């Protein structure tokens, strides 16, 4: 094996997983861990991942955010399902540093809900950020019965509610555990990589009002670090922050503030973990203010090349359908390699949708006619009700079939998705 290759073997199966001392669930996941193992590589290296499927149903594995060849994207559009008892080898170069993740892309509302996901970290070639520790936090929630079992909503009304709101449960998880204790030393600054792997939950990171620095999102480092006290992370999105320094003996709840995304469920403030600050330790942290330069793809007034409308419409069979350009599971027009894309994505509905584009990063040029405060590479971006964004992206030379969809898994399943070809 060459030095610049990273080989992993992931086996998908059902297994017993303890989310807390009182709760054991029948999870579906990789290598009997929830989340699955964290895969690591350096920017520019090759990743080879053999996936063995020991579940009783077919699966695909999608590499969310990686700019890989279309044939490796892990959807039903580009490969045959990995059937029970079979395996498939994914092989691709990771061209960008950042916080990525992998997850099932088959029967997602069940497979992902039960735990079929893990982190994929691509390190920068040079260590721009020197933190005292580097930690991954995968956010999730599960909706379980009193017996801690996964159930599908049976009756029409609960089914309609889950289809509308997405599935949200009260078992709140960070890295597969309920309210874990996170230890850190006083005086240190750690890099925390957040990945929202939940079906539908909007997570608003809050550290009891303490300021933290946002340094990176879906497509890697921002231009400058940003100091905030709260941060919305919607399903599919990633943000890296610098946490600390905190004082010895402090206990800080890691919480999500309420976010009103217009659902039947009432938004609540909820605790996901507890940070316990121990003894003071020497620090090596070097976190520059300026992180890198991002080149703007297009001016704000660039003319629109495609309109994508997200909406919700009534449906006799399902109560409601989730639509792209007034239809479900759409085939959109192809785009040409190298041709700058300026898309208007219009959320004409009365609820939020995190828009996700497979395989490519985009820049948000404006939101409701206003420029964004800062430039970033995104692959997932939330649209509140009645919001229009203008995004710019370039299909580089990776022809094939791609897709975009809402990352609320129930909306995706209910039709809010489209395929298109890069030609
Ligand atoms: Cu995480 Cu089709 O996406
Ligand atoms: Cu949606």
For 373-404, the pLDDT digits (tens) are 999 999 999 999 999 999 999 999 999 999 99
- Least confident interval from 311-315, 358-362, 406-410: 311-315
Please work out whether the CB of residue 105 comes within 6 Å of at least one atom of ligand 1.
yes
> Which of 106, 88, 82 lies closest to 48 in space, CA to CA?
88
Ligand 1 atom closest to the Cα of residue 103 is: 1
Q: Is 409 helix (H, G, I), strand (E, B) or coil?
A: helix
Task: Compute CA 51 distance to the chain's CA centroid, rounded to the nearest angstrom.
Answer: 20
Average pLDDT, the chain: 96
Report helix, strand and coil shares of the chain as percent, to nearest 5.
Answer: 5, 50, 45
Write down the residue that tokens 């610049």 correspond to.
Answer: 4
The answer to whether position 297 is within a domain reads no
Residue nearest to atom 3 of ligand 1 (CA): 64
Q: Is 112 helix (H, G, I), strand (E, B) or coil?
A: coil
Question: pLDDT tens, 117-135?
Answer: 999 999 987 789 999 999 9
Please work out whether the CB of residue 238 comes within 6 Å of at least one atom of ligand 1.
no
**275 and 217 in a common domain:** yes
Phi, psi of 170, deg, nearest 5: -100, -5
Please work out whether the CB of residue 411 comes within 6 Å of at least one atom of ligand 1.
no
CATH code for position 410: 2.60.40.420
Percent above pLDDT 70 for the chain: 99
Ligand 1 atom closest to the Cα of residue 101 is: 1
Write down the residue that tokens 């609320």 correspond to.
Answer: 408
**321 and 238 in a common domain:** no
Percent above pLDDT 90 for the chain: 91
Q: Is 80 helix (H, G, I), strand (E, B) or coil?
A: coil
Question: pLDDT tens, 284-316?
Answer: 999 999 999 999 999 999 999 999 999 999 877
- What's the whole-number mean pLDDT along residues 218-230? 98
**115 and 151 in a common domain:** no
Q: ipTM of this predicted complex? A: 0.98
Residue 1 has pLDDT above 50, yes or no: no
Span from the CA of 362 to the centroid of ligand 2 (angstroms): 19
DSSP for 129-150, written as a single string? -B-SEEEEEEEEEE-B-TTS-B
* The predicted structure's pLDDT at residue 342: 98
Structural domain ending residue among the three candidates 105, 123, 141: 123
* The predicted structure's pLDDT at residue 159: 84
Ligand 1 atom closest to the Cα of residue 417 is: 2
For the entire predicted model, the pTM comes to 0.97
Structural domain ending residue among the three candidates 62, 96, 123: 123
Span from the CA of 101 to the centroid of ligand 1 (angstroms): 10
* The predicted structure's pLDDT at residue 2: 52
Span from the CA of 349 to the centroid of ligand 2 (angstroms): 9
Please work out whether the CB of residue 62 comes within 6 Å of at least one atom of ligand 1.
yes
Domain of 19? 5-123
Neighbours of 175 (CB within 10 A): 20
d(CA 217, CA 380) in angstroms, rounded, equals 10
d(CA 119, CA 144) in angstroms, rounded, equals 24
Q: How many residues does the chain have?
A: 423
Ligand 1 atom closest to the Cα of residue 403 is: 2
Span from the CA of 313 to the centroid of ligand 2 (angstroms): 13
Please work out whether the CB of residue 358 comes within 6 Å of at least one atom of ligand 1.
yes
Span from the CA of 289 to the centroid of ligand 1 (angstroms): 32
**112 and 138 in a common domain:** no
Confidence of residue 6 (pLDDT cuts 50, 70, 90): very high
* The predicted structure's pLDDT at residue 109: 95
Whether the Cβ atoms of residue 141 and residue 170 lie closer than 8 Å to each other: yes
- What's the whole-number mean pLDDT along residues 338-347? 98
> Which of 5, 26, 6, 4 lies closest to 17 in space, CA to CA?
26
> Which of 189, 139, 200, 151 lies closest to 26 in space, CA to CA?
151
Residue 146 has pLDDT above 80, yes or no: yes
Count of structural domains, the chain: 3
Both ends of the chain: CA-CA distance in Å?
A: 34
Span from the CA of 339 to the centroid of ligand 2 (angstroms): 28
The answer to whether position 273 is within a domain reads yes
Dihedral sign of CA atoms 81, 401, 354, 62 in order: positive
Largest Cα–Cα separation, the chain: 64
Q: Is 3 helix (H, G, I), strand (E, B) or coil?
A: coil
Q: Where would I find the beta strands (DSSP E) of 143-269? A: 171-174, 177-178, 181-186, 190-196, 203-206, 212-217, 220-228, 230-233, 238-243, 251-256
Residue 226 has pLDDT above 70, yes or no: yes
* The predicted structure's pLDDT at residue 157: 81
CA dihedral 26, 27, 32, 34 (to 10 degrees): -140
d(CA 364, CA 386) in angstroms, rounded, equals 16
The answer to whether position 295 is within a domain reads no
Residue 272 has pLDDT above 80, yes or no: yes
Write down the residue that tokens 């299909």 correspond to.
Answer: 395
**231 and 196 in a common domain:** yes
Whether the Cβ atoms of residue 81 and residue 131 lie closer than 8 Å to each other: no
* The predicted structure's pLDDT at residue 142: 97
* The predicted structure's pLDDT at residue 183: 98
Confidence of residue 5 (pLDDT cuts 50, 70, 90): confident
**197 and 107 in a common domain:** no
* The predicted structure's pLDDT at residue 392: 98
Span from the CA of 235 to the centroid of ligand 2 (angstroms): 10
- What's the whole-number mean pLDDT along residues 82-87? 98
* The predicted structure's pLDDT at residue 160: 84
């Amino acid at each position: 094996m060459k030095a610049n290759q990273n080989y992993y073997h992931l086996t998908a199966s059902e297994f017993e997983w303890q989310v807390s001392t009182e709760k054991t669930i029948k999870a579906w996941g990789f290598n009997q861990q929830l989340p699955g193992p964290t895969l690591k590589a350096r920017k520019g290296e090759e990743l080879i991942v053999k996936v063995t499927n020991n579940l009783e149903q077919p699966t695909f594995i999608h590499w969310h955010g990686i700019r890989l060849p279309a044939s490796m994207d892990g959807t039903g559009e580009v490969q045959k399902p990995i059937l029970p008892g079979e395996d498939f080898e994914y092989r691709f170069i990771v061209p960008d540093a950042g916080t990525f993740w992998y997850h099932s892309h088959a029967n997602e509302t069940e497979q992902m809900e039960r735990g079929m996901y893990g982190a994929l970290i691509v390190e920068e070639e040079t260590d721009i950020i020197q933190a005292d520790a580097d930690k991954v936090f995968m956010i999730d929630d599960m909706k379980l019965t009193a017996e801690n079992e996964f159930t599908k909503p049976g009756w029409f009304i609960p089914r309609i509610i889950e289809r509308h709101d997405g599935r949200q449960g009260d078992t709140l998880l960070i890295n597969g555990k309920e309210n874990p204790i996170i230890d850190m030393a006083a005086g240190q600054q750690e890099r925390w990589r957040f990945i929202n792997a939940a079906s539908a939950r909007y997570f608003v990171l809050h550290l009891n009002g303490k300021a933290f620095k946002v340094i990176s999102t879906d497509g890697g480092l921002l231009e400058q670090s940003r100091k905030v006290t709260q941060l919305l992370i919607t399903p599919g999105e990633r943000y890296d922050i610098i946490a600390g320094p905190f004082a010895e003996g402090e206990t800080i709840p890691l919480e999500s503030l309420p976010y009103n995304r217009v659902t039947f469920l009432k938004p609540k403030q909820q605790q996901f973990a507890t940070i316990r600050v121990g003894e003071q330790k020497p620090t090596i942290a070097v976190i520059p203010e300026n992180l890198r330069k991002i080149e703007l793809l297009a001016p704000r007034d660039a003319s629109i090349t495609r309109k994508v409308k997200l909406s919700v419409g009534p449906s006799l069979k399902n109560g409601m359908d989730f639509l792209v350009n007034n239809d479900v599971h759409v085939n959109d027009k192809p785009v040409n390699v190298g041709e700058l894309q300026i898309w208007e994505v219009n959320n004409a509905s009365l609820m939020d949708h995190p828009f996700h584009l497979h395989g490519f990063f985009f820049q948000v040029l404006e939101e409701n006619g206003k420029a964004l405060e800062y430039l970033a590479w995104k692959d997932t971006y939330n649209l509140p009700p009645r919001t229009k964004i203008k995004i710019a992206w370039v299909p580089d030379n990776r022809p094939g079939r791609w897709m975009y969809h809402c990352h609320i898994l129930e909306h995706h399943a209910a039709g809010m998705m489209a395929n298109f070809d890069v030609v």
